[in-house]
A and B are shown apart, each in its own frame.
Chain A
């Protein structure tokens, strides 16, 4: 994991790295020493012990931390960690609300797990909405996560998303519980590359179960963005360079699965500041 995080910070030149299944440790130490003075890490430091932790690493030279919240949902005696929400200031004064989430698969029986995931989704929706209310409805929103749910899962009604950019662009958030995000992960539902007659390993999602059955690949890791990032000017979501990282260091091409011990492939993306574009936005 150390080498992967270092490669993301150096070779991929990431300014923000979200880790959803790290054992309790100081992941900031995985950032190369020459970069580390500028990097900060945010993780849930609550008293409750978890097998796996959420961790957000960021370059403070690019992102200025303004606010953070650990978002949790309580139902009866159950406690569900919904995610980490951080509000960053960007170089041009714009705001970026980043959410990192990991909805665990082992939340109980099928119906109980679905109910808790729905509750987590609703809570995250409200937390994002409240942040928009506080920091401005024109703030940008970026949600990253391992949701243990596919883009078509009903849970994405509770955290409203769409695969139609036009609908998201036109949506105007009128209240804290009225957000709508674009889900870029719909593009990752099938095989990453079309069949061309060449035998290539199957990569049909972001998570590999290890079972050789029709459902071995799932698209559990997703990237959700607000309509404010689907413009021609300002901060722009670069969907053309956003996708699943399936290079040989992450993908075992012989076995057609993530390099062990990992069962997920990383997702990589980019936001760029476009200061002038003559194309009109509708």
Chain B
């Protein structure tokens, strides 16, 4: 059995990796937003926001057969949101991160993209932004 201080050091390393991942994701979104200015116009920002949702907990077969309503718990997830001043914010994709950061999964209609490093995330973001879904979401924000 390891020591309690080793356990806490391990937890701190996980927290550090997670912070690094979030920093890299936000940097990629900032780069993407500044690049999109020439298409969407000035003032566009892309944000990584934390949300929570209720998920059903697994049930035993006995519980299912008895018709019990499964218990729910709150699960944290993230979204990528596009914002422009004086315009409604637009959700572009859902994001899930592992406890230590990577792998990150990006989800948009008909797509599940996973990335296990910064380069992979930037490529997944490119795939998202080249999708019809992203175009439909961001088009209302475009300058006339």
**CB-CB contacts of A60-99 with B at 8 A, as 1s and 0s?**
0000000011111111111100100100000000000000
A240 within 8 A of B: no
List A contacts of B56 (CB < 8 A).
133, 136-137
* A75, A119, A126, A173 interface centre (most CB from chain B within 10 Å): A75
CA A130 to CA B61, docked complex, whole Å:
20
Q: How many Å from the CB of B110 to the closest CB on chain A? A: 6
* B56, B107, B114 interface centre (most CB from chain A within 10 Å): B114
List A contacts of B119 (CB < 8 A).
74-77
Enumerate 27 A-B pairs (CB-CB under 8 Å) in ascending A order.
Answer: A46-B127, A68-B110, A69-B111, A70-B110, A70-B111, A70-B112, A72-B112, A72-B114, A73-B113, A74-B114, A74-B115, A74-B120, A74-B124, A76-B123, A77-B119, A78-B120, A82-B114, A85-B112, A122-B103, A122-B114, A123-B105, A126-B103, A126-B114, A127-B112, A130-B96, A133-B55, A173-B58
What is the number of contacts between chain A and chain B, taking CB atoms within 8 Å? 82
Q: How many Å from the CB of B22 to the closest CB on chain A? A: 18
CA A122 to CA B102, docked complex, whole Å:
12
B residues at A contact (CB < 8 Å): 55-56, 58-61, 64, 96, 103, 105, 107, 110-117, 119-121, 123-124, 127, 130
Q: Is the interface of A mostly helix, strand, loop or mixed?
A: mixed
**15 new A-B contacts at CB < 8 Å, known A76-B120, A130-B96, A133-B55:** A71-B113, A73-B115, A73-B116, A74-B114, A74-B115, A74-B119, A74-B123, A74-B127, A75-B116, A75-B120, A122-B103, A130-B105, A136-B56, A137-B58, A174-B58
A residues at B contact (CB < 8 Å): 46-47, 68-79, 82, 85, 119, 122-123, 126-127, 130, 133, 136-138, 172-174, 281
List A contacts of B123 (CB < 8 A).
74, 76-77, 79
Q: CB distance A123 to B55 under 8 Å?
A: no
CB-contact partner of A137 in B59, B112, B121, under 8 A: B59
List B contacts of A71 (CB < 8 A).
112-114
Q: CB distance B103 to A72 under 8 Å?
A: no
Q: CB distance B58 to A172 under 8 Å?
A: yes
Q: CB distance B114 to A73 under 8 Å?
A: yes
Q: How many Å from the CB of B104 to the closest CB on chain A? A: 9
Q: How many Å from the CB of B32 to the closest CB on chain A? A: 15
Q: CB distance B110 to A126 under 8 Å?
A: no
List A contacts of B113 (CB < 8 A).
71-74
Q: How many Å from the CB of A128 to the closest CB on chain B? A: 10
Q: How many Å from the CB of A232 to the closest CB on chain B? A: 12
Nearest residue, chain B, Cβ from A137: B58
